[in-house]
Amino acid sequence: MMPRHCFLGFLISFFLTGVAGTQPAHESLKPQRVQFQSRNFHNILQWQPGRALTGNSSVYFVQYKIYGQRQWKNKEDCWGTQELFCDLTSETSDIQEPYYGRVRAASAGSYSDWSMTPRFTPWWETKIDPPVMNITQVNGSLLVILCAPNLPHRYQKEKNISIEDYYELVYRVFIINNSLEKEQKVYEGAHRVVEIEALPPHSSYCVVAEIYQPMLDRRSQRSEERCVEIP
């Protein structure tokens, strides 16, 4: 039989271990990795479920504000959502302003604390997609036509605003000689129409392009290759 003092020690150890190993319900519900993901000023708040959440048994509540404001604003379309993202493009449309977003979860009558993003400024942090590229053959030359990425629909309503209105953009065009497997940069500049001349006949080339932002020292991913046969 276990001595009385050993039994009491066992009970104390058991309860201390249990308390230390159990987190409050609201803490285990708290959303994880709350952050903005932005492409071409399309600003999406994303998060992951708390450690205690599985499946679709929980709902989420989203708020946002401009840095320096005290009052948080509810995002009505994401108030009680079961999704793990929320489109805050319209709410963060002043691209020079710094913003915060935050999310809380609810499940089975319990609510988590709020999880807040780092400070988010669209102008600094949005990622630019590669240019859209079309190629036409003209008398043995290639005419490359480049288009900047599209902005969200909200911006399209305002005087045909382009992403070029917000950044200095430099286009880079590369040509790949398929027979030699050799790549060459043939253009770097602000023009969106580029002519590649003096290509030998009966040859095969692929063309790719990217956008470079000098002020941020940042470049986009490359466009899809467009390949042509020179007759």
Q: What is the CATH number of the domain that holds 158?
A: 2.60.40.10
The count of other CB atoms within 10 Å of the CB of residue 46 is 17
Residues 119 and 14 in one domain: yes
Q: How far apart are CA 106 and CA 60, in angstroms?
A: 6
Residues 188 and 215 in one domain: yes
Domain end point (choices 125, 146, 162): 125
Residues 150 and 181 in one domain: yes
Please report the pLDDT score of residue 14 as a whole number: 36
Please report the pLDDT score of residue 21 as a whole number: 40
Q: pTM (2 decimals)?
A: 0.81
What range defines the domain where residue 148 resides?
Answer: 132-230
Name residues whose C-beta falls within 8 Å of residue 24's C-beta, 6 or more positions apart in sequence: none
Residues 77 and 136 in one domain: no
Residues 109 and 37 in one domain: yes
Please report the pLDDT score of residue 19 as a whole number: 38
Q: Of 57, 56, 63, whose CA–CA distance to 78 is shortest? A: 63
Residues 183 and 98 in one domain: no
Please report the pLDDT score of residue 18 as a whole number: 39
| Series of mean pLDDT values for 10-residue runs along the chain (231 residues) | 45 37 64 97 95 75 97 97 96 96 93 96 96 90 92 70 90 91 92 91 92 96 93 83
Cα 127 from chain centroid (whole Å): 7
Q: How far apart are CA 179 and CA 86, in angstroms?
A: 48
Name residues whose C-beta falls within 8 Å of residue 147's C-beta, 6 or more positions apart in sequence: 131, 132, 133, 134, 192
Please report the pLDDT score of residue 8 as a whole number: 41
The total number of structural domains in the chain stands at: 2
